[in-house]
Structure 1
Amino acid sequence: MTPLRIATLAVCIALLMPITVQAGSLEEDVSAAYAEWDTAFNESDAKSLAAFYTEDTLFLPANHDIIQGPVGVEEFFAGLFANGVTEHKLELIGVTSEGGLIVSSAKWSAQGTDDAGAPATFSGVATHVFEKQDDGSLQLKVHTFN
């Protein structure tokens, strides 16, 4: 291999390295945010959950309501908790970023009761748009699920 080819290969590898590091870090950041969100959910803490959302958040639950802002999010989750929904879990499917926005998808599941009062597992998929904050934390700008 010629010195020019070695230098070209080294530059290509160096250019790819930050992308690989960023992708791993991005997945770790979103997975950590999911873990914190699940913890608040599983403590039935609607107020703490609402703090994960930006002031101009758009929350689009499976019931087709359009909820804007943390207050609406808090009310939505308080209703779920009053109906005994627990044991929420988010599992990352994929993540990408553009500027200060991070878009991720996840499988979700939770436990509750069906219409007859029998134990039931609920599940689906969710899409999240996070906005990276100045302190490095992530807040949800858009959240939709089915």
Structure 2
Amino acid sequence: MRDPRLLAKPPVCRLGCLALVRNPRGDVLLVDPDYMDGLILPGGAARPDEPPHEAAARHLLDATGIALRFTHLLTVDYTPADRYLERLNLVIDGGTTTSEPSAPSRRRTGLLGACFVPVARLPAVMAPAQAARVGEALVGRVVPLLLCGQRA
């Protein structure tokens, strides 16, 4: 049963669902958004009632043409409100793929392109906070993603 007191004024927090995908060489898949400087992990906001692993898969497919299944969480990164809403970014493990990203539709995705980048080059092509987030995700700790208490 839904408690109207809990739904009357829900908190405003964006849930970012980001995909960490690597190629067999260990390079990290990044996208180049036209709305900011530097490369970022593919991903974006979850829709209302959309599970995080499904949001990450949807954004990855839209941005790169790569379809993957996500089952584990790597990192949770909280960012307080600044020029954007308060946000919680989940970095979800996409594993390793041999697929190459396709060119995204800039008009539909706001992305200029996608490419695999060697780990050593990440600090040079990403904003410091973005590179730190990826660095933490690469440490290798994994947490199962659950959906109502069951593995996603």
TM-score, with normalisation over the residues of structure 2? 0.28
TM-score, with normalisation over the residues of structure 1? 0.28
Q: Which has the higher helix share?
A: 1
Q: Which has the higher strand share?
A: 1
Name which structure has the greater RCO, CA cutoff 8 Å, separation 6+.
2
